[in-house]
Amino acid sequence: MSESNRQQQQRVLRSMTHRSQNTGGGADASSASADTESWMVAYLDLMSLLLAFFIIMGALSHAKNGVNMQGKEKNIESQSTPGKPVSMDATVKRQGQKSGMNQSMQKIIGSNSLGGMVDVHVDPGQVRLQMKAGLLFPGGGATLTAKGKAALNKLASIFSESIGRINVEGHSDNLPINTAQYHSNWGLSAARAVSVVEELIALGVPAARLHASAYGDTRPRASNDSPEGRAKNRRVEFVLEIGQEFIHQRKRTLRQSGTAVLH
């Protein structure tokens, strides 16, 4: 083989080697590029999943807080205090309960032959019974009349069937009084309240349940400008702090005695 042929073969071998090296380097670069793209895709997928997860958790958290706030608002409406707005449903429900309790109390009063002698007023947590002072006392006096004692005897039978506190309140009109025994309406209203309390104790009502208060002419029920209004203001009130329990217990007693009870 001539020298020129050898040189030509060497050039061909070098050329093939160079191509092979170039071809291998390209494959390595392609492989590295493919690996890099696969890693980035996996990373982006993971970030997308994490983002979606946090979005869902945030939405659930806000939804839960919204439900809790609605529940608190309903609870506040149902347990509203005087001076604060109440929901329409709570107002209607309270008025229905008050009306039903008032009717039940009127029937109880009637069943004890006290109809027409006692006015019933139902307030939240208490029942207020009003008797005109003229049914219990002579004018300007604090000594119970026979008619007054008979009325208190009937009231005592009602009070004995409950366990709540009873506040006896004495009230008067605004006409000044100045007698040897009572120098003001305060003294007269206080003496009348004490006389009623003492009579109820004598009739068997526990003394621990009774409390006497006097208000004079400071809490009128009607205008003092007319004789009729002043007659309404001269009164003794019995405040029973017992609520619905009193009504239920009284109904049970009436059923046990065979007395018909209307609902």
Per-block mean pLDDT, blocks of 10 residues, the chain (263 long): 57 56 51 63 77 79 54 47 47 46 57 71 82 94 95 88 88 93 95 97 95 96 95 94 58 58 41
- Please give the single-letter amino acid code of residue 146: A
Q: Measuring CA to CA, which residue among 127, 70, 89 is closest to residue 243?
A: 127
pLDDT at position 91, please? 43
What local confidence, expressed as pLDDT, does residue 147 receive?
Answer: 93
Nearest to 246 by CA among 166, 168, 154, 169: 166
Domain count, the chain: 2
pLDDT at 136: 96
Q: What does the pLDDT read at residue 120?
A: 84
One-letter amino acid for residue 163 of the chain: I
Nearest-CA neighbor of 199 among 256, 249, 131?
A: 131
- Identify the pLDDT of residue 67: 46
> Do 74 and 92 fall into the same domain?
no
If you write DSSP's letter for every residue of 162-197 in order, what string do you get?
A: --SEEEEEEE--SS----SS-SSHHHHHHHHHHHHH
**Residues 188 and 123 reside in one and the same domain:** yes
Give φ, ψ of 190 to 5 degrees.
-70, -45
CATH number of 198's domain = 3.30.1330.60
Q: Which of 79, 109, 124 is the last residue of a domain?
A: 79
pTM over 0.75, yes/no: no
Q: Taking Cα atoms as reference points, which of 149, 161, 170 lies closest to residue 205?
A: 161
Which residues have a Cβ under 8 Å from the Cβ of 160 and sit 6 or more positions away? 204, 205
Based on the domain organization, do 54 and 143 belong to the same domain?
no
Spatial separation of the C-alpha atoms in residues 118 and 228, rounded to whole Å: 17
